[in-house]
Amino acid sequence: MFTGIVTDIGRIRAIEPRGDMRLTIETAFDMATVDMGASIACHGICLTVVAKGDGWFAVDVSQETLDRTALGALGEGARINLERSLRVGDELGGHIVTGHIDGVAVIEVLETVGDSRRFVFRAPDKLSRFVAEKGSVSLNGASLTVNSVDGATFGINIIPHTQSRTTFGDARVGDRVNMEIDVLARYVARLQDTAGL
């Protein structure tokens, strides 16, 4: 479980094809405080630490994860958003994020609005009904507030602080991003479907 508050920008040091794909990721996290088998959100994807050392950790990524996320498009040297898992008693600064990616959204528009950057994302059609104005969405692991919705597209303003603390400061039109819908929206929609509303 995560909050969507990115606490480090890591860098992919190595990609090793195996039965699964192993990623070695450089980080500023104190790896002495991270247990083997711990969960770390890597661009929003909950992945398990399988090896670690001073300033780095490794995760194995299954083909299922590669098929359902934008992670496979990243190469060595790519920067990725990182967040350690939530501990009981931690501040919930963003929203509840599971690290289970629902689909891949695409950046369609990027424009400057004051000091912020306005992003317009296109969600997969099957996910668009879960995105609500002033609701939350996790994109590449960052908890963000939706400012506007128009069909399958939605707009988000990203302030300078978030740009500097996440990879959204480097984003470009056409980039694919991992999208996790708000868990509350998921359950409300399920209840509506069950009730035939």
Residues 39 and 109 in one domain: no
Domain membership of residue 184 as a residue range: 103-195
Q: What's phi and psi for 137, nearest 5 deg? A: -145, 150
- Say if residue 197's pLDDT is above 70: no
Q: Is residue 94 domain-resident?
A: no
What distance in Å separates the CA atoms of residue 14 and residue 185, rounded to the nearest whole number?
A: 36
**Mean pLDDT of the 57-65 span:** 96
What distance in Å separates the CA atoms of residue 102 and residue 178, rounded to the nearest whole number?
A: 8
Residues 107 and 190 in one domain: yes
Residues 71 and 111 in one domain: no
- Say if residue 187's pLDDT is above 80: no
Rounded to the nearest integer, the mean pLDDT of the chain is 93
Residues 15 and 76 in one domain: yes
Kindly report, residue by residue over 86-102, the tens digit of the pLDDT. 887 777 778 889 999 99
